[in-house]
Amino acid sequence: MIVTLTMNPSVDRSAVLSGPLALGGVNRIAEAHDSPGGKGVNVARVLAAGGIEARAVFPAPPHDPFVAMCAETGVPATVVPAEGPVRVNLTLTDPDGTTTKINSPGPVATTGTLDRVRSDVTGLAREATWVVLSGSLPRGVPDDFYADLVVDLRSAGARLAVDTSDAPLAALAARFPAAAPDLVKPNGEELGQLAGVDGVELERRAADGDLAPVVETARTLRATGVGTVLVTLGGAGAVLVDDDNAWFATTPAIRVRSTVGAGDSALAGYLLAEARGAPPQERLAWAVSHGSIAASLAGTGLPLGLDPSTFRATVRRLD
């Protein structure tokens, strides 16, 4: 079983615009829909569709519409009772795939909710192969919440993956090696946040075909105790640094419709392949294939139940 924790879940309201976003003007919506979101929820949905037992943990009022939306997906959930409604995030997508995200902060988490989250995740971790800690932290949660959880969960036996950004990511890095997870999945900018370097420059150089800085930065993280580094680079592909090896993968160009959920799908693809005993290069191929297909779907479109024979990733080993 793979357990995912989403501390700041959301109803993802996706709207596809009929034309380019006009700031200060009138924008018309061509199509719109709501789906249960939050990075860990997205990961759990892709894992479950791929035949892997998954459980999504998140705080929410028991009768919040979000809980019913999650139940409709068929993914088992552990709902930690919380105060305040689940937030609604709005994603606006232009016809050319340009995505504008407007995210709500979410309710303030109480001490009781945080204690219950820790207890529930710790109990589930004893029966899990992986625990995935994903996404932003709501108001009222200390920045080092994920770092504390990584340290606390080590004795449970499950491997730990973290996918977050900004202050929680910096707090995690500040606690290496004690809080170093088995897997991190940053994008280029987040890789810079983890290592204390210019992530925008890392992404720019990767887009120009220079992957050496990304690999070097990922290897510095491994030297601080991180097990595996999976770096997603948008249209430029992805890099995997595992043990002494580094791999790079790309997929054929796609029409980008929405990038929401693409990184989560990439992480889920990696874990799906890992659960099947695939070698590192194949895990990377699954990751970029899932991420690419997610980006080709509207809204929070997730690649559910993909046939691996349809993957067209190109993987090569880096020096």
Q: State residue 98 phi and psi, 5-degree precision.
A: -65, 130
DSSP states along 43-87: HHHHHHHTT--EEEEEEE-TT-HHHHHHHHHT--EEEEE-SSPPE
Q: How far is CA 163 from the centre of its chain?
A: 5
Is the previous residue joined to 65 through a cis bond, with omega within 30 degrees of 0?
no
Contact of 314 with 250, CB cutoff 8 Å: yes
Residue matched to tokens 């759990």: 44
Q: How many CB atoms lie within 10 A of CB 26?
A: 5
Q: In angstroms, how far is CA 178 from the centroid of its own chain?
A: 22
Q: Is 210 a catalytic residue?
A: no
Cα(98)–Cα(90) distance, rounded to whole angstroms? 14
Q: Are 297 and 244 in contact (CB under 8 A)?
A: no
Bridge partners (DSSP) listed for residue 160? 131
The residue annotated as part of the active site, out of 144, 242, 264, 319, is 264
Collapse the DSSP code of 228 into the 3-class scheme (helix H, G, I; strand E, B; otherwise coil) and give the result. Answer: strand
CA atoms within 13 A on the CB side of 151: 14
- Nearest Cα to Cα of residue 161 among 290, 43, 291, 79: 43
Look at residues 130, 93, 46 and name the one whose alpha carbon lies nearest to residue 296: 93
Instruction: Report the half-sphere exposure of 254 (CA within 13 A, side-chain side).
Output: 25
Which residues are designated catalytic? Answer: 264
